[in-house]
Structure 1
Amino acid sequence: MKIEGETIKQIANKSFQAVFRTTTETPGFIHLVFRKKELTPYEFRSIMIDLKKELSKLSVSKFNKKLSYHWLVRFDQQVTTPFHVDNAADQSILMLGYEPSAIKSELHIADYYTYANKAFEAPEDYFNNFSPVFKDNEDVLLPFISKLKLVNMNNYFILIINNSSPKPDVDTLGVFHKALIINKDLNKSRIVNSMVLNVVQKDQVTEDEQRENSFLNTNLISK
């Protein structure tokens, strides 16, 4: 989805419908594209925080639960990963903000719920033995994979992904994700701003504001 004049609330509403899914009729993720010439890195991180706040309001409205940071970091990453869900609460959301980079890469999303429903006579057999890292032959996931290209020196990208595991007390359906680095070059940077957002009770005490201020103003980049 190219962002051309939409407000944060409009973006959040579309994102919530796609990501906070309760059926497999929606994808469980959304890909947002922002033009580089309109943003600074600081403004880009501000958009991510504003989106988190709006998504949290929508989550409270529908599920009576808010979003709180599990982690909030910036890192320079050129590592291909297997399909996985990130380590977080059973119900969580992953927001990845990619800064312009010459490193060619892709993010692959695999709908493990649709896979379980199609490949297993009893999908619960898969869910009951769910692993946060997919260890079988990835070829079985091919019909259920979406591939997103992330290389472009002219754009910033935000990926919002349902990072939840299939547990009985989880309201929404998660997906796997996988980073694929196509042309690794350690002389160049591939900066990713990463938020993992736990879905928690709305009255839970958090320190989100302090963490947001550090994230907005930092120049630190983890390896």
Structure 2
Amino acid sequence: MKSEISTWSPDSICLKLDAADSRPLAKAMYERTCRTDFSQPGFCVVDAGSEIDSISFRRLMLELKREMAAIHEVQTGKTLVHLSAARFDQQETTRPHLDGGPDECFLMLGYEPSAVDSDLQITDYTKCAFDLGLTPKELLVKHNPMFQSSFEILEPYSTRVPCFSKTNYQIICINNSSAGYSSLEPAWQGTLHTATILTPDEDERRVINSTMIASVPKGTPDTIDASVLNEFASTSAVRRRGYDKPHLDDDD
């Protein structure tokens, strides 16, 4: 059952924003992210440059989601909805993980320029599960990446994001699904993501505009309403305080 582990070239991951027309970009993002087999990476990076401002950047994220939903409707008869939208200062190193969500979902993360150095890594855990004859959920139970021995099993399936830049606005789409592979009933094949914070600094900000997007039957409304998305697109607030950093104040 085991097949060759893919090594993804930068060209297969890294995309540029075309200000004239977002539709070709949305198509390329959809193809790379919303995969149902292992012929695509399951993630991509869009470089929006340094000239765009934060509000325009977040509006771009919402526009690209709408374009991707239109593609999804044509290809599957389903649509895409937002499950969450938030802004926060993320300066904690993580292990490979999924964000909690339904079986078919992806993250669209908007990274703003930052003085904080970091690395991102994507792990193709569904491909690893396929090669081991397990479902993705079985793999995470049997080989929990929080433990070093399991991390070593997943390491050959990991890719360091090659075009991540702290100086530019960038959108990173990550397939966050947990569905099993089936050629008869295709479902999105997910990945794990890891952030390594190289130079954490509480006096600086590493702002992530985070959205989770799910595949649902056509006609299903967004889980969050338009007012929440409008606030997400326009607010200057950034969440900083958390259970691990109760001493920090949120930015207004």
Corresponding residue to 1:184 among 193, 197, 200: 200
Corresponding residue to 2:145 among 125, 134, 141: 134
Secondary structure, in 3 states, of the residue corresponding to 2:130?
Answer: helix
| TM-superposed deviation, 1:41 | 0.6
Structure 1 stretches of 4+ moved >6 Å: none
Secondary structure, in 3 states, of the residue corresponding to 1:94?
Answer: strand
Q: Which residue matches 1:175? A: 191
Indicate how the Cα distance of structure 1 residues 185 and 52 shifts in structure 2: closer, same or farther if over 3 A, else same: same
Contact 2:118 2:196 in 1 (8 A): yes
Larger relative contact order, structure 1 or 2 (CA cutoff 8 Å, min sep 6)? 1
Contact 1:130 1:166 in 2 (8 A): no
Q: Which residue matches 2:30? A: 16
Deviation digits for residues 156-213 of structure 1 (CA, Å, limit 9, x no counterpart):
1110011101247772111111111011111111010000112111122335422221
Contact 2:81 2:220 in 1 (8 A): no
| TM-superposed deviation, 1:123 | 2.8
For the pair 1:222 / 2:239, whether they are aligned, the reply is: yes
May I ask how many residue pairs the two structures share in their alignment?
218
- Structure 1: tracts of 5 or more residues without a match: none
| TM-superposed deviation, 1:140 | 1.8
Q: CA RMSD in A?
A: 2.1
| TM-superposed deviation, 1:127 | 4.1
Q: Which residue matches 1:45? A: 58
- Structure 2: tracts of 5 or more residues without a match: 1-13, 241-252
Distance 1:141 1:59 in 2: 30
| TM-superposed deviation, 1:4 | 5.0
For the pair 1:117 / 2:133, whether they are aligned, the reply is: no
| TM-superposed deviation, 1:134 | 2.7
TM-score by structure 1 length?
A: 0.89
Indicate how the Cα distance of structure 1 residues 48 and 161 shifts in structure 2: closer, same or farther if over 3 A, else same: same
| TM-superposed deviation, 1:133 | 6.3
Distance 2:69 2:17 in 1: 23
More strand by share: 1
Q: Equivalent residues in 2 for 1:1-223 (5 A)?
A: 1-3=14-16, 5=18, 7-37=21-51, 39-118=52-131, 120=132, 122-124=133-135, 127-128=137-138, 130-131=140-141, 134-137=145-148, 138-148=151-161, 150-153=164-167, 155-167=168-180, 171-206=187-222, 207-223=224-240
Contact 1:29 1:162 in 2 (8 A): yes
TM-score by structure 2 length?
A: 0.80
Secondary structure, in 3 states, of the residue corresponding to 1:222?
Answer: coil
Identity %: 29
Contact 2:95 2:145 in 1 (8 A): yes
